Amino acid sequence: MESMRDINRVMEREVAKGSCPLAFERMEFGSKPFQFIISEEKLNEVLTYLLRIRTFGQYAGKSIINNVYMDLDMLCKKPQFKRTRSVVEREEVYTKVQRYKRKLKPEYDGRVCLETVQCIFSLPEKETDRYRMIYEGQETYGFIMSNKYILGLFAYCEAARKTIVWDGVEFEHLTEQEQKIVLLDNVRDVLFQALLFDNVSMEKNHIRADMCTVMLLE
């Protein structure tokens, strides 16, 4: 596993090559970061939404290639994270997640949840206007980032989530059960995870992107 120092070096080289210098700032848990999934049908709906496929294919805009998705090997033993280039690739990811789901046998009596946290990134203030654009009549932002750079940002998000666990961070607005999920005390496995760069919001020079994790609870 690469150290964060190694990841930093790679990201610095990618910026020198032209990648947008988006930098990870922090992770936030909003007012309602957890959604409990009560049926297999609802779980499949969540997965197809996150992957922007089938009935949610309409949400697959140009920036979907910046999303980072959890993928699995054929034996569903080794998770890896990658970007996808087409709906065919995302359908393949969905098929593997379905196979993994059958292996894990989730129980839907309050033991499957979707965690959505906000990853906050920043741009140098002088760079903000450079990435502002109009798409389908609405103002948005387009970030040109290499594969290595985006995966580096994802590594920062993963590290921040682990740090919350290691530091035992407590959030006053969460219930006792939700706080246990934050600290992974009652989490038996992660079924799927995605960092969504295709639906960001921006405040001044800060960008918010959702990191979504489907967890199976004990």
pLDDT digits (tens, 9 = 90+) for 175-213: 999 999 999 999 999 999 999 999 888 887 889 999 999
- Report how many domains make up the chain: 1
**First-residue to last-residue Cα distance in the chain:** 28
How large is the average pLDDT for residues 140-165?
A: 93
How large is the average pLDDT for residues 60-85?
A: 91
Stated pTM of the model: 0.94
Report the share of the chain in percent with pLDDT over 70.
Answer: 97
Range of the domain at 75: 4-217
Nearest to 103, CA basis, from 81, 73, 80? 73
d(CA 70, CA 76): 11
pLDDT tens digits for range 2-50: 799 999 999 999 999 999 999 999 999 999 999 999 999 999 999 999 9
- pLDDT score at 75: 75
Nearest to 210, CA basis, from 161, 172, 176? 161
Extract long-range pairs of 73-81: CB within 8 Å, 24+ residues apart.
76/100, 76/103, 79/190, 81/151, 81/154, 81/193
pLDDT at 131 over 70: yes
pLDDT at 80 over 90: yes
- pLDDT score at 1: 60
- The answer to whether 156 touches 24, Cβ cutoff 8 Å, is yes
pLDDT tens digits for range 158-173: 999 999 999 999 999 9
d(CA 195, CA 213): 9
